[in-house]
Amino acid sequence: MNETTKKESRQMDMLHGKIFKNMLIVALPLAACSIMQQLFNSVGVAVVGRFAGSEALAAVGSNGAVINLLVTLFSGISLGSNVIIAGYIGEGNQQKIPSVVHTAVTLALISGILLLLLGQIISHPILLLMGAPKDVLHLATVYLRIYFLGMPFMMLYDFGASILRSIGDTKRPLLALIVSGVVNVILNFLLVAGFHMDVAGAGIATVVANGVSALLVILFLLHEEEPIRVSFKKLEINTSELIRILKIGVPAGLQGMVFSVANVCIQSSINSFGSKAIAGSSTALNFEYITYFIVNAFAQTTVTFTSQNYSGKMYDRCKKVFREAMLASMIFCGILSMVFILGRNFFIGLYTTDPDVIHYAMIRLVIITSLELLTSTYEISGAALRGMGHSMTPAALTVFGSCVLRLIWIATAIRIWHNYTLLIWIYPISWVLTGTMVLTAYFLTRNKLFNQ
C-alpha cells in the first residue's frame, strides 16, 4: 500500500455503506482513546494514593470539577470545527475546509494560553470557594497551578483530534494518547514514587504527557493531505468560519461548563464529608468516566455521521444513525458498567486500602456506574441535533434538566438531610429527566426538518 493510498484510507465514506459497521470503526477507537487516557491518568492517581497518602490523593481528586469547569467550554468549541468540516464534506465543498482547519488551530492556541494564565490566578481562590479541607488545600493548589501549565497542549490536542475525527480518523488520536499515556505513567512512578514529589510530580507528569499528545497530533496534521493539512504560515482567524464554529461549539461548551458548575457544587458538598469522602469519590469517579466515555464516543460519532448525511440531504440515513448509535451506546456502556460493578472490590482496591475511603467509593460506584447507560438518552439525541445544526436546544435542555435540578437538590434535600448516599442519587435522577426532554426535542426537530 503506497503513501497516498494509506492517507486516503483514513478518510471514511460516511455517506454510503453499512452505518453500524462504520460507526463502530469510528466510535470504538474514539472510546478507547478516552479510556486509555483515563486509565493512564488513573495509574497516576493510584501512584499518588499508594506512595503519597490519602491527603495527596484527596488533593488531586478535589481538582477534577474545577479543571472540567474551565476546559469544557473550549473543548466544546472544538466540536464546532468537527461539525463544520463534516458538513462541507457532505456538501462536496472541500475548498472551504482549509480555512476552518487553520482557524480552529489558531483558536486552540489562543484559548490554551488564556486558560494557562487564568488558572494561575484563580486556582487558590476557587478551591477556597469550594470549601476544600485545610489539610489538602495547599497540595490541591500546587497541583492545579501546575496542571494549568499544560492547557495550550490540551487545547491543541482537542482541536487537532477533532479535525482528524471529522474525516473519520480516530486511530491516530488514539495512537497519540497511547504514547503520551506511557510517558505519563513512567513520569508518575519516577517523580512521585522515585523522587517523592507528591502532587507536584503528578502535575508535571500530566503536563509533559499532554505536550507529547499535542505534538503528535500537530505532526499528523502537518503531514496530512489536503484539505485538512495544517501549515503554520496559513494560521488565521477567518471571521465567518469562526462564527460558524462558535455557533455550534459555544452552546456545547457552555453546556459542559454549566455541568461543571453543578459538579463543582456537588464537589463542595462532598468536601463537607471530609478528605475520606473526597478520596473515595475521586476513586469511583475513575470508573464512572470510563463507562461514560463509551457513551461520549458514540455521541461524537453521531455528530459527524449526522452532519455529513444531513448536509447531503440523506435523511433516512440520519434516522438510522440515531437508532444504531443509541442501541450501541447503551449496550457497550451497560456491559462495561457490569464489569466494574461485579469486580468492584478488586478495582477499588487498586487505588486504596483505607476502609473509610473504600466505603465512600463503593457507594458512588454502585449507584452511578450501574446506571451510566441512561446518559445515552440525552447524549446521543443531543449529538444528532448538533449534527443537524441545532446546538442551542440540547444545551439549554441539558442545563435545565441536569444542572439546575442538581443545584436545587443540593440547596434543599442535602441541606435538610446531610447524607452522602442521598447526594449521589441526584445523578441518575437528573439523567432520567434530561433524557426525556432532549429525546422529545430531537423527535420534534427531526420531524420538522425532514418534512420540509
pLDDT > 90: percent of the chain: 41
For residue 399, what pLDDT is reported? 83
> How many helices (H) does the chain have, and how many strands (E)?
20, 0
Which residue type occupies 377?
A: T
Nearest alpha carbon to residue 201 among 266, 147, 128, 124: 147
Mean pLDDT of the chain: 86
Q: Considering the chain, what percentage of its residues have pLDDT values greater than 70? A: 90
Burial 162-180 (b: 16+ CB within 10 A, else e): bbbbbbbbbbbbbbbbbeb
CB contact set of 417 (below 8 Å; sequence gap of 6+): none
pLDDT band for position 9 (cuts 50, 70, 90):
very low
The cell numbers describing 357, all together, are 475511603
pLDDT in tens, 143-194: 889 989 999 999 999 999 989 988 888 889 889 988 998 898 899 889 988 8
So what's the pLDDT on residue 443?
Answer: 95
**Which residue matches cell numbers 429525546?**
439
Q: Is a pLDDT exceeding 50 seen at residue 335?
A: yes
What does the pLDDT read at residue 122? 85
Report residue 238 as a C-alpha cell: 477567518
If you search the block for the grid coordinates 440515531, which residue do you land on? 322
Q: How many residues are recorded in the chain?
A: 452
Q: pTM of the entire structure?
A: 0.76
Instruction: Read off the pLDDT band of 62 (50, 70, 90).
Output: low
| CA 9 remoteness from chain centre | 27
**Eight-class DSSP state of 15:** S
- Give the residue with greater pLDDT, 48 vs 385: 385
pLDDT at 194: 85
Between 269 and 213, name the one with better pLDDT: 213
As a whole number, mean pLDDT of residues 25-40 equals 80
Rg of the chain's alpha carbons, rounded to an integer?
21
Phi and psi (nearest 5°) for 417?
Answer: -115, 100
pLDDT per residue as tens digits for the range 86-104: 888 888 888 999 999 999 9
What's the rounded Cα separation, in Å, for the pair 386 and 325? 14
How far apart CA 190 and CA 192 sit, in angstroms, is 6
Checking if the pLDDT of 252 tops 90, the result is: no
Contact 156, 217 (CB under 8 A): yes
